[in-house]
Chain A
């Protein structure tokens, strides 16, 4: 089959970028261990209040400068909704929902997850600067959707 020289050029670039993308995704997933915020960690959505760690939601210290922040989303609130994090802390946020699908977006950061009933979503972030972050629901979940917020304060260590 005869192919025009220009056609060969753009096909080379097209197929080349496909392989480049697959390589990046493959290295990220298999070599660096990256995974989506919800990676098959399941929970009974009707027993969230009885299931640890969501029976006592909040910030838990798990190591030197390492924390776990467990949050329960429900229509139309986050529990807890006022959180203080010491500056420099490496926090793994775990979120689940008791009812419908909610969103979990920490404005201005990369923390942005969909919260589905039956699953636990996790995201790890280090908070290196003091300040305030708003958490909001970015998946329409009902009449009170726009009221669904929480506040995180990153404070200097005492």
Chain B
């Protein structure tokens, strides 16, 4: 039994891989989407 708990704590303390690149690419995509939507909205206003 003590061996089992040892294993569990090992899994819990496993190091996270860095998500910096993921964060950057997610927000790059997000800003691109916002930019295109705002662009389309201004095109709409211009044609009113």
Q: Please report A residues at the B interface, Cβ cutoff 8 Å.
A: 4, 6-7, 9-10, 13, 108-110
Contacts and interface: CB of A to CB of B under 8 A. Distances in A.
A13 to B, nearest CB: 6
B47 A10 contact: no
What class of interface size applies to chain B in its complex with A? 10 to 19
**Interface of A: prevailing SS:** helix
A108 B22 CA distance: 40
19 contacts: A4-B16, A4-B19, A6-B19, A6-B20, A6-B22, A6-B23, A7-B19, A9-B23, A10-B23, A10-B26, A10-B27, A10-B30, A13-B27, A13-B30, A108-B47, A109-B47, A110-B44, A110-B47, A110-B48
Nearest to A9: B23
Classify the secondary structure of B's interface with A.
helix
Contacts of A6: 19-20, 22-23
A83 to B, nearest CB: 19
Given A10-B26, A110-B47, 13 more contacts: A4-B16, A4-B19, A6-B19, A6-B22, A6-B23, A9-B23, A10-B23, A10-B27, A13-B27, A13-B30, A108-B47, A109-B47, A110-B44
Contacts of B27: 10, 13
A31 to B, nearest CB: 18
Contacts of A110: 44, 47-48
Nearest to A14: B30
Nearest to A4: B19
Contacts of B22: 6
Contacts of A109: 47
